[in-house]
Structure 1
Amino acid sequence: MTGRSSTVLIVGATGSIGRHAVAEALRQSYVVRALVRDRARAVRILPDRVDLVTGDLTRPDTLGPAVDGVDAVVFTHGSTTSERDVRDNDYTGVANVLKALNGRRTRIALMTAIGTTRPGVAYAQWKLRSERLVRASGNPYTIVRPGWFDYNQPGQRTIVMLQGDRRQTGSPADGVIARDEIARVLIDSLHVDAANHKTLELIAGHGPEQDDLATVFAALTPDSAESLDAAEDIVDLPTESEPEMFRRDLASIREGRPKDGD
């Protein structure tokens, strides 16, 4: 998909990454829709050109108008490192939006975090489960796991994409990246064919930002259609041992996958 007449729904649009994603999508000539809980606040924060749709990620009955007719969904929402908050907001929001799409093929860009596969980290496991739902949905997608926000130095702007999620110190030593660059990668992924079915960790290297990210995306290994996990990840979370909540969502989303030709 390309910009201009394509409509992109930004989830988490008033957040620190979401605002950059809105700006980048507008710059690339997308029609931008924002899912917001507080319309009055959103009016103060977001540009006039953004179509504001009131809804709540935790209330599926409110999501229909937000997803109606969209060509892409960009998830930039995120909560704390509390397992309950990540489960009830980050994960549940992804599950509810995917279900609300009701089988319509839609381009997905999901932001999670570097270190998502760290063993035994409860909140990270719910982020990982949201990734699994996206992979199972049958939609074209890119999953972006950014490093630590805004720890980059002024000259540290070269976009670097890694795979395998091997950096797991839980500190900026894992990699750093600017917020606007996270947004740029999410929005670019919507129209770069080489980004489809890719999962990546996103950090910055020393040097200038690239004008074109197609070759960077192209160097990545695509996820297997036969697996719920990313191409080079090491994950030990058997589906049969997962929480009932996840298994129920997974079954529902698999049942509602877009049909060939949709």
Structure 2
Amino acid sequence: MTPLTVLVVGATGSIGAHVVTEALAAGHRVRALVRSAAKAGTLPAGAEAVIGDVTRPSTLVAAVEGIDAVVLTLGSDGQGATGARTIDYEGVRNVLAALDGRPVRVALMTAIGVTNREGSYNRSTQAHDWKRRSERLVRASGCEYTIVRPGWFDDNDAGQDRLVFLQGDRRQAGTPADGVVARSGIARVLVSALTSDAARHKTLELVSEDGPAQADLDPAFAALAADPSGALDAVSDAPNMPLTEEPAEVRADLAAISVR
């Protein structure tokens, strides 16, 4: 495997920190986007810190310079609809725009149940809708990508380490009954996807079940169906977010990213 220069966005978050560690262990050169020098001090040895903020596009130009791949683990939990829009969606949009059409490998983390628009969580925060819109931007960007929708973080029991890939986003209880997975497992899938040909253009829900973790994730990626070419949504997703009913600014973002 040829080492990549990987930008980790959300690098000091609960998933991003694991991604930094996993990517370093895999032999990649890791650039970690952090908002301050104090945050940079929490990074492990070997990670290069770059100061920037996904809500300030001008700070992202240096962060993306020369990268081969980007892992996006943005999360606005607890910040309501405004945070969901400015971080989960506009943050992804701003990173993609900073690339200015340069093709890199993208791994994006969203959430299991992201297509559930009618649940109480989405009605109160719009978080699912904004995360789903970020997925659409990635698919429209022209970049090679993998989108990972993890279940509930770290609710897995001891020995529940076998990673299971699902599609269709049919688990929508809004509780750990939808599936659980360790943060370290999520990071492993995101990093593994960057160098797996079998993971290209695929969207998956990620949970864990009883059994040991697999040594090789390529067979699990290979078993998945790819997203249809040119489609905004993942294979087998419910068609419940018509583009014609989307906000004008969202449609403009999609049009802009598609022509880069």
Q: Aligned to 2:115, which of 101, 114, 117?
A: 117
TM, length-normalised to structure 1: 0.95
Identity level (%): 57
TM superposition shift of 1:58: 0.6
1:69 and 2:66 are equivalent in the alignment: yes
Stretches of structure 2 that go unaligned for 5 or more consecutive residues are none
Q: Which amino acid aligns with 1:135?
A: R
The answer for the alignment partner of 1:49 in structure 2 is: 46
Q: 1:38 corresponds to which residue?
A: 36
- The SS at the match of 1:63 is helix
- Whole-Å Cα distance in 1 between the matches of residues 109 and 164 of structure 2? 16
Corresponding residue of 1:94 = 92
Q: Cα RMSD over matched residues?
A: 1.0
1:252 pairs, out of 229, 253, 256, with 256
SS in structure 2 of the partner of residue 34 of structure 1: strand
Query: CA contact under 8 A between 2:140 and 2:230: conserved in structure 1?
Result: no
**1:143–1:124 Cα change, 3 Å:** same
Letter aligned with residue 243 of structure 1: P
Provide the C-alpha distance between the structure 2 equivalents of 1:46 and 1:114, rounded to a whole number of angstroms: 28
Indicate the residue corresponding to 2:241 in structure 1: 237
User: Secondary structure of the residue that 2:32 maps to in structure 1?
Assistant: strand
What corresponds to 1:259 in structure 2?
none
Q: C-alpha displacement at 1:245, in angstroms?
A: 2.2
Q: Aligned letter for 1:37?
A: R
Matched letter for residue 58 of structure 1: T
Tell me the matched-pair count. Answer: 253
| Matched letter for residue 65 of structure 1 | A
Return the offset for 1:119: 2.3
d(CA) in 2 for partners of 1:60 and 1:195?
Answer: 29
Q: Do residues 167 (structure 1) and 171 (structure 2) align?
A: yes
Cα separation, partners in 2 of 1:3 and 1:187, compared to 1, 3 Å: farther
Q: Report the counterpart of residue 212 of structure 2 in structure 1.
A: 208
Mapping 1:174-185, distance limit 5 Å? 174-185=178-189
Deviations 1:190-230 (A, max 9, x none): 00100000000000010000000000000000001131000
Report how far residue 139 of structure 1 moved: 0.5
